[in-house]
Amino acid sequence: MPFDRALKIAPSILAADFANFGAECRAIEDQGADWVHIDVMDGHFVPNLTFGPPMVKALRPHVKTVMDVHLMIAPVDPYIEAFAEAGSDIITAHIEAGPHIHRTLQAIRAAGCKAGVALNPGTPAEAIAHLLDLIDLICVMTVNPGFGGQSFVPLEGKVATLRKMLGDREVHIEIDGGVTPKTAPGLVTAGADVLVAGSAVFKGGSVEDPAPYGANMRAIREACD
């Protein structure tokens, strides 16, 4: 996975048709998605349940780009190997998910994946000051994790602080939650390069009629130009 800081849209399949995930992944990629964002929830770290490694594995043949796996689970470590073997390119764990995030990030890289750290809205940028050389991505949550379609928490200042902390390190800053053509530009200006979007990408479209997915992604990109 070569590094670049060009703007990337990563649709979250949390907003896709759950009975049709494979076709939905192909549809969003055909329509211009850069990455595919996969939200794993355990009903414990977050108050919602989605799916685990077998689903990620089943989706792998349907995703040509990057499988960006966001783990909203605790504990994380017992499942890293399974998510890596399922074909994840990036595995992101929450700093709030346990006392040993340093070990978790090392384990993700040791399993052959890019390592991401996610921060809930209430967690300050400085919390990851000692992790900067262990990460490939920071996921800044702009909603409280657990559900799609929630309203955006404005955290442009936090994004700008993180970008400054990173210096010239090759680390992506990803935004997750409430991304729309309205909220995206300020985040990109502040230093984000990956925008996760669920409802704003999938609204109005379907596997049978995927053109709205493309139009929705273009609307986000054009707002950020």
Q: Which residues are catalytic?
A: 39, 176
DSSP string of 24-70, one letter each residue: HHHHHHHTT-SEEEEEEEBSSSSS-B---HHHHHHHGGG-SSEEEEE
DSSP assignments along 150-172, one per residue: PPPPP-HHHHHHHHHHHTT---E
Q: Report the residue closest to Zn ion, judged by CB.
A: 70
Residues that bind ligand DX5 (CB under 6 A): 12, 14-15, 37, 39, 70, 143, 145-146, 148-150, 176-179, 196-200
Q: Which two tokens stand for residue 37?
A: 């964002």
Report the run of H or E that residue 134 belongs to, with start and end: none
CB 16 within 8 A of CB 116: no
Burial class (CB in 10 A: 0-12, 13-18, 19+), 161: middle
Cβ proximity to ligand DX5, 13 vs 113, nearer residue: 13
Residue of this chain nearest to ligand DX5 (CB atom): 198
Stretch near Zn ion under the rule CB under 5 A, chosen from 66-74, 125-133, 155-163, 182-190: 66-74
Q: Which does 65 bind (CB under 5 to 8 A by kind): ligand DX5, Zn ion, none?
A: none
Structure tokens belonging to residue 38: 């996969």
**18 vs 164, which CB is nearer to Zn ion?**
18
Residues 162-221 that bind Zn ion (CB under 5 A): 176
Question: With respect to Zn ion, which residue has the nearer C-beta, 39 or 89?
Answer: 39
User: C-alpha angle 97/42/95, rounded to 5°?
Assistant: 15
Among 8, 68, 70, 90, binds Zn ion (CB under 5 A): 70
CB of 177 to Zn ion, least distance (A): 7
Least spacing, CB of residue 208 vs Zn ion, in Å: 26
Q: Is 94 a residue that touches Zn ion (CB under 5 A)?
A: no
Q: Which is nearer to ligand DX5, 36 or 103 (CB)?
A: 36
Single-letter code of the amino acid located at 91: I
> Contact, 42 vs 73, CB < 8 A?
yes
x/- site string to Zn ion, residues 22 to 41, per CB under 5 A? Answer: -----------------x--
Contacting positions for Zn ion (CB under 5 A): 39, 70, 176
